[in-house]
Amino acid sequence: MKQTLCIANQKGGVGKTTTSVHLAVGLARKGEKVLLIDLDAQSNASSVFSESSSKNGKDSFLLFSEKVPIRELITPTRISGLSLLPASSKLSQIDVLLSGKMDGFFILKEALETVANDFDWVVIDCPPSLSLITMNAFVAATGLIVPLQISKFSLDGIEAILEAKNHTVKRFNPGLKILGALLTLFQQRTTMSQTVVPMIEEHLRLFESKIPPSVAVEEAHLLNQSLYEYQPKNKTTKAYQQFTDEVYSFGG
């Protein structure tokens, strides 16, 4: 396995799921074997692949609640080379179920070790919180990617992300590295962008790629499609392709 990538931000609405989906699809389009893991109880990443979403209750909840082997829960998608571990609304119960358990932080890491030879990349879509389930992703990951929007609230959240990452490195996963922050819904010429970008760069490396806003994103989600399928020539699609190329350069 080349990289296990955690896409995380405790703030919702920053393009975290859209980034996870399009990074996973983009890597698969390069001929890589990719596993997309949906750990968000809202199941938005899973819904893009409705043909592969949870059937017969087989989803990521069972991995944490009953330690069902991950191989039994993974399903192929319509995208060649891309597999999915779908989410469940029951994931919201995980913090209560695992609270106080000695191995609570290591369940995902140990599960992924059993399929390490099956995939080149793992992309983990985390819930919008720094919960126990997000910490499982941090412990399992080699790289952390932080989607951000240009706002004061994004700046406020960076400190919490860095603190959680540093705590994970110190206690559980010394190999975890922040690959960078990805700016989403980005409009370069605004005064806010020109002011906030340098402030973000004081804390996090920024990917060269910037994801512009586009109504096509919501339209594609409504149709349960990726942008590559819905509008392959859209500016946002091309931006995600450029972002995937950047991430791909970290592999190997």
Domain ranges within the chain, ordered by starting residue:
3-247
Greatest Cα-to-Cα distance within the chain, rounded to the nearest angstrom: 50
How confident is the model over 117-130, as a mean pLDDT? 96
* pLDDT band at residue 54 under the 50/70/90 scheme: low
Q: Cα angle vertex 161, ends 239, 35, to 5°?
A: 55
Higher local confidence (pLDDT), 53 or 26:
26
How confident is the model over 219-223, as a mean pLDDT? 94
Reading the block at residue 181, the tokens are: 């922050």
How confident is the model over 70-89, as a mean pLDDT? 96
Whether the predicted pLDDT of 52 surpasses 90: no
For residue 107, what pLDDT is reported?
A: 96
Q: What percent of the chain has pLDDT over 90?
A: 76
Whether the predicted pLDDT of 252 surpasses 70: no
Q: Measured between alpha carbons, how far is 44 from 111 in angstroms, rounded to an integer?
A: 22
Higher local confidence (pLDDT), 147 or 195:
147
For residue 53, what pLDDT is reported?
A: 67
Element (H, E) at 158: helix 152-171
Whether the predicted pLDDT of 211 surpasses 90: yes
User: Could you tell me whether strands 3-7 and 121-125 are parallel, antiparallel, or unpaired per DSSP bridges?
Assistant: parallel
Higher local confidence (pLDDT), 102 or 65:
65
Reading the block at residue 110, the tokens are: 């140990």
Whether the predicted pLDDT of 217 surpasses 70: yes
CATH node for 3-247: 3.40.50.300
* pLDDT band at residue 55 under the 50/70/90 scheme: low
pTM equals 0.95
Whether the predicted pLDDT of 27 surpasses 70: yes
For residue 56, what pLDDT is reported?
A: 64
Q: Measured between alpha carbons, how far is 245 from 249 in angstroms, rounded to an integer?
A: 6
* pLDDT band at residue 149 under the 50/70/90 scheme: confident
Q: Please, what sign has the CA dihedral across residues 143, 40, 162, 218?
A: positive
Lowest model confidence (mean pLDDT) among 24-28, 101-105, 161-165:
101-105
Which of 78, 182, 179, 95 lies closest to 130, judged by CA? 95
Q: Measured between alpha carbons, how far is 91 from 109 in angstroms, rounded to an integer?
A: 17
